[in-house]
Structure 1
Amino acid sequence: MAAFLPHYAVHYADAEHSLEEVTKGYRLALVYSLCLPPLSMRHLKRGNDNLLSEELAETLSTMGPEEESFALLLLHEYTEKSIEDLGSGALKGIDRARFVALEEANAAVPADRKMQFFIARLKHEIKYYGENGYEMSWWEESSRNHTITWFSTSGRRFGAENSTMKMNFLNPGHETFYELWRPHGSSKEKGFMGNHGPSKKTMYSRYAVIGWPAARGVKNALEFINEAAVSEMKTQKPIDTGAVGDILIKLQAELEKKKPNAKPISTEFFQALCEILVDAGDVAFVNEFFLKCFGKLCAHLQDKDAVVPVLTTMFRSLNWNEIGREVLESFGQLDHRTSLEIGVLVADGLDDGETKTALMHYGMEKAVQLSDGMASCSTKTAEILWKWVLGSDEPDALTTFAEKVTKSQPSSLDVATRVFVQCLDQIDTKGTKFAALAAIVEKRITWLKAQIQQLDKPFSWEMPDAEFSDNAQVQTFLRGTAQSMVTKDVHRFKKLQDAHNFVAKWMRAEQKSASYVMAASEEDGTAVVTITKTRAWFSARQKELLQYTTELEMLTTHFGEGAGASGDMELESAS
C-alpha cells in the first residue's frame, strides 16, 4: 500500500538533477492545477481571445509621437553584471514574458508608432538626520537623490545620471505604492558622531523596462541618457540636423563641467558622433565639433588609440579645404607630442592628396619644434614622418627637417638613421638629399664610436657610475672591485626586522648603474645586511655593446667609413 500513498517533491530552476532510465519500480505522477490568486495576479488573466502582444499592439498604435514615456517595473532581482552581459536575455519569469510581449507588439505596429526600449536601474536615496534620538518621530529628512543607470536592451551600459524624469509607471498587478517599493528598500543608521547627531540613509532600488515613442528617441535620449542619443541617431535616416546641433551644444556643456577623474567617454560614442557629423552633410557641424569639443573630448576619451582610425575614416569623406583650418586649430589644443602623433598617424591611413599632405606638413612643423629629435614620439610615428620627408618632391622639406634634427642629441637619432638605410635605394647618393642625411649619420656614428669605446671593456666587479643615496660607504663599495660586503661597521640596525625592512626598500628601488642582491641576517646577535653584486649590470652593457656595434657596421657599410671621420677628434669626450 505504501507505493500508492501520496508523495510530494519540489523542483526549482537550477536545482541539481539527473535524468536516469527507470527499469523497475513505481512511476511518480505529478498532478497539479494552476490557479490565479483572487487579486494580486488577476492581470495575468486574458480577458478575450486576443494574445497579450496583440492587445499591447492595439494600445501602442494609439500612442502619438508626443506621448510621454512609461516604465514597467521588473519583479525579479538582477545585477548590473547580468544586465551588461545578457541585456534583455537576463530577464526571467514574468519579466521575460512581459518584455517579449512588448517586443512582439512593437514589431506589429507601423513604423511611425514604434517604441524604443531601455533597461534601467532606478535608485532613490533618502537621507535623514536626528537631533535628539533614534525614534522615527525624531528623524528629519535632509535630502533626496534619484539616479537612473541606463542600459540598452542588448546590455550596453550608458552610465548613471541624476534624474528628475517623470515616469508613468505601469502597474498590471494593481499594487499599492508601498507594495511596489517597500520590499526593495534598505536602511543604514549611524550613531552620534562627535558634533553630529545620528543619521540614516534609505535606498530603494529596482530594475525597469522604460519605453518611449521612437520618434522622440533622440530628444529623450539626449535629455536623459546623453551617449544613447548618438547611437539612436545612427539608426534614423535622414539625419535630423536640428538634433545634431542640440547634441553638440549639450556635449560642449558636459565637457566644460567634466573633472579630470570623471567617467571616461566611450569609444562607441566618439565613433558614432563622428559618423553622424559626416552623414548630416553640414560642414558647419564638423567645424563646430573640432573647434569647441574635440580637444576636451580627447582628454576624457576611454581609449585614446581610437582617435586615429575614427578621424582617418572621417577625413576620407570630407573636403580638407572646408575643414582644414578648424581641424589643425583643434589639434593645437592638445599637447605637442599628441597633436604630432595624431596628425602623422591619420595621414598615414589616407590616400595621397591634399588632406594627407597638409597633415604631414603639420606633423613636420611640430617635429622640428621638439628638442629631443622626436625621441619622445613613438617609433612608428618617427618612421612614417621620415619616410614621407625622404619621398617628398618638395625640395625644402628634407633640408628644413634635417637641419633641425642634426641639432638634436645623437642618442635620439637611431630611428632616423634606420629609416635612412631602409630608403637609401630611393636616394641619389650624389644629390643634396644624401648629403643632408650623411650629416646626421656622421653625428650618430661619432656618438656610437664613443659609446662602444666606453662599453668594450673586460669583465670587472667595478660599477663606476653606481648610486646609493642612503649610504656613501655602500656606494663606494658598489664602485669598487669587491664582490660583496657586510654592513656591520657601515650601517647599524636595532633589530633584525629593521634589516629586513632595509633589504625590502632597496630591492624594490631602481638600481642605478648597478646590480646587486641583499640578504638580512644576524651575526653574534647583531642584525646585518650582506650586499652581493651580480653580473646583470655587466650583461646589460654587453647587450648594449652588441646593439651599437651592429648599428655602426650597418651605417659604415651604407654611408662609408668617412661619414664619421670629422668626429674622431671628439671621440674621447663624446657622451
Structure 2
Amino acid sequence: MSDTNESNSPQQLWPFGCDGQDDDVVATDGKTSPTISRLLERAEVDAGEYSFGGQTTLLPALPGLFIDGVGSVPVPLTDERRDNVLAISEQKNPEWASGMRKLGDKVGDRLGFKRIKLQCELKELIIYGPGEKVDKHQESKEDGEVATIEVQLPSEHVGGVLVNVAPYLPHYAAYFADAPHAREEVTSGFQLMLKYSLSLPKEMQHLKDAKGDKPLSEELAEVLKLIEPEDECFALLLEGQYKEEDIQSRGAEALGDMDNTRYRTLLEANNLIPKDKALVFHIAQLTHAVQHYDSTFGAHKNPNWKAKHARWQDYDREDSVTWYGIDGKKYGDAVRTMYVNEIEGPSKKEADPPSLTPTFLNPGRLTISELWKAEGYKLYDGYSGDQMKGTTAHRYAVFAWPVTKNFEYTFKLANIEAAAAVLQTQEDVDASTLREFIERASEKVAHIKKRGSSGRRYNHEDPKPDNLSFCRMMTEFIVKSGDASLVGLLLEKFINGTQF
C-alpha cells in the first residue's frame, strides 16, 4: 500500500543510489554499461523466430471482401472473379478484423515482442496469376515496421508456395520485414493474398533493428572485451519476483523466461571473450526496509487506534544485500549497505554514504517505483509501545565483475563467507594468503560491528556476520595448508570473544 505522508516526505530515500521521481526509469550510468543494457534489451527479440507460418484458426474462412460497385466477393477466388477483385475493395467481416488483431499478437510473441503491442495494419491486397512468381528479395520497411504477415485467402491455384499450406483455408506466413524471401511460380489459378505490416509503437521504435545480421551474443562480447574499468562491476536487474527457496535450490535455473534469456545472453557473450577478460556472476537479493512510527500525540495510549488515522513519520531506513552463488548457495546473512535513523541517528545528513551503489543494467526499463514497490506492510508495537509500520521491498539481481578480481570484489561487496568461498575455487592457497585473509576478515567484521547502530527503541537489530560458518570453512583451509599457527590466529580473531 502507498502512504501519502511517506511519498511526499522530503526525507524520501530511494535504495542503492537510485535517484529520481516515482515514474523515472532507472538509468544506467557509465561509458560501456549503457551499451550493454541496450543490447540486453534486444535479447527478447533476438530469441524470437525469424519466420514461420501455417494454418490459423484465429481467422474466419470468409474474409468478407467487399468491392465498391460490385458487392461481396466469395472465395475461393476463381478466374471469372479475378477482374472484379482488382477494383477498389474493403473488408466488412468484423470477425476478420478481430482475428487479425489476435493473430498480430500471436505473431509478435513468436517474433520476440512478447510484451510489446505491435500495430497491425493492412498494406495491400495481392493477386498472383499463372506464371507469376517472386524472386528472392528484401523489402524496404517504413519507420517502426518490424514484420510482415501475409494471409493467403481460400483460392483455387497450384504453386505459389511461400510456406506449406492447403488451398481452401486461411493460412499465413510471418517474417521480419527485411528478411529475404521468395514465392514460387503459380502454375494455374489465382492466389489471393492480404499483406499486413506489424509496427512498433513510437516509444519503442529503438528496437526496430533488434534482429541484426550478427548474433547478439557476438555483439555483446565485443563490448565486454572493451569494458571500461569503471563499468567492470555491474548488476543486471531481474524483472521477476522469486522466492528465496527457489533461488537456493535452483540458482540461475530459477529465473523466468525474460530474465533467463538476458542472463543466458550474457553467459554466451562471456564464453566468447578471452579468459583474462571474462566475468564471473553472482546472485544478490537487494532489500530495502523502512520503519515508520505514528507521531500522533498519545497514539500509543489510544485503545481505539486505527492505522488509517495515523500520521506516519520515518523512523529508519536500511538497505541490505544477501549474496548467493550462481548455483544458489547462500553466503551468510544479509550485509547492510545503508542505514539512516531519523530519531536516534545517524540522520540522512549524518549517515555514511551507501557502501553499495551498483551500476544497474535496466533492459526492462523499470521505473523507480516499479523496482522498489513494497510488498504490503505490517503493523506492530515498538519497544516503548509506539505504533509502528514496516515495509519491505525486494529485488533480485545478477552481479558481474572480472574473474581476475573475483576475490577483491567479493571481499569488498559481499561478506567474509562469500570471500572464503571464492578462495575455495582457487588452487594452491598458501599459508601466507590465509593469514592475510584472516587478518582482513577480522578487521572487516570489527568495522561492521562498530558501524552498527546502538538504537534499540524499535524493532531494529544489527546484522551479525555468520562467523561460525566462516570458521568451519577456514578450518578446512588450515588443514590443507599444514600451518598449525593459523589455528591460534583464527581462535584469537574469531573465537576468543572478539568477534562473536
TM-score by length of 1: 0.40
Task: Return the structure number with greater strand share.
Answer: 2
Using CA pairs under 8 Å that are at least 6 residues apart, name the structure with larger relative contact order, 1 or 2: 2
TM-score by length of 2: 0.46
Task: Return the structure number with greater helix share.
Answer: 1
